[in-house]
Structure 1
Amino acid sequence: MPSAQDPFYVVKEEIQDSIDKLQSTFHQWERIPSDTGEQVHLTKELLAACDSIEWQVDELDKAISVAARDPSWYGIDEVELEKRRRWTSTARTQVSTMKRAVEAGKELNGTGTTSVSGMRRELMRLPDSHQAGRSNRYSAQDNDDLIASESDRQMLLIKQQDEELDELSASVQRIGGVGLTIHEELLAQDKIIDELGMEMDSTSNRLDFVQKKLAMVMKKAGAKGQIMMILFLVVLFIILFVLVFFT
């Protein structure tokens, strides 16, 4: 399905626009001094926007799960599904990071701007000396989780392919059995036809012999004899007709 007609990309663009607006508001919130009415208002607005976007991403994830059950029906493949999962994961991470920073800033409003900025740096994972080791550890763990997840997915695909091949093999065996049965039936029918042909040839030869004998008898009997023969055959026919249909 073309991207312009795919509902996923329509929803994706709407969510991406919401994330862009959320980031813009978040940067504005960072520049506002703490303990001000404007910051409180923006905090509520940011948290509400984060919840809304998270809900939309969750719904999009559900739609991807439905499509993953039968990708061919929706005109997509595993590569496209994985691409969509990565995008929703990235979008959820961005929103979750900003939401944690806003919540942390809301809790630390009474401790001063410096503490809030430090918390924002920690939640946004900005590169500083205190965070470098933790980021590397998280990155390695994420890579291990990704590799394990990909390995499990590949094993599941291989298992599904093996099951499909087993079903295909069973179907081929059934079709082969039906083909052998049809072949044997055709051979039997051909044998019957050959026997019938031989019987017909034998009967035809006998009829020719009888006709020749009858012609010789008629020729020897003369005209009077032929009339008597015809009358005899008529009487014989009538007798056989009565025996067959009236007894």
Structure 2
Amino acid sequence: MLSASDPYYVAKEEVAKAMDKLRGLHQDWKRLLHTEDTARSQRFQRTHEELTGELEQLGLDLDDIHATIGMVEGNRGTFQLTDAELQSRKRFVAESRRTLEEFQKDVRGPQTRAKLESDKKAMLSFAASNARSREERQKSAVQDNQAFLDRQRQQQTQLRAEQDQDLEMLSMSAQRLGNTAQIINVELKEQQKMLEELDEDIDREAEKLNFVMKRMGKLLKTSDSKQLCLIIGLTALMAFLIFLVINT
């Protein structure tokens, strides 16, 4: 069979390209494995997923080539292949499988699993710590809110108590003002009564004074100095008596 029409060479070329791609992916994957947090790095996770997918696909492709070689080996009469060509194909599959197994061992090995598990535990521990921190912050916020509400209630209670005390003092002051107003009213009535009595006394004394003045008018018709002195003295005595009456 001509190599141009033999599907083995097409499959071989595809496997070779897949191997080159795997080597590049494996280098990137290994670098990210040692330099980044595998549990958080999306770049590592994408590379890891792509690498494992390529490894699985390459294994399937090698299985297909191996099956084809087995079919050709079992039908030597149909397929015109020399022993050297057949052995060459077997060596290619075997070498490709060894390379594949090395990649798989590196990806699935204990060191890789330890790194993946360590990063995962660290992420879970960090998440748990953040959860506890959030819970503590929420608890602290609830306590702060409760303390604020308690202070507000206490201030409102104290304010109402002060308002009640002020209203009580205002009521007592109003009551005292009312009592004082009643006392002043009583005193005003008594003063009014005293003034009315004084007016009556003055009226009576005025009548008496008018009577005396009339008598004095008659007496003043004389020009005797002794009589004038006597009249003046009696007038002064009358004024003194009126003063005594008013003040007693």
- Scaled by the length of structure 2, the TM-score of the pair is 0.43
Larger gyration radius, structure 1 or structure 2: 2
TM-score by length of 1: 0.43
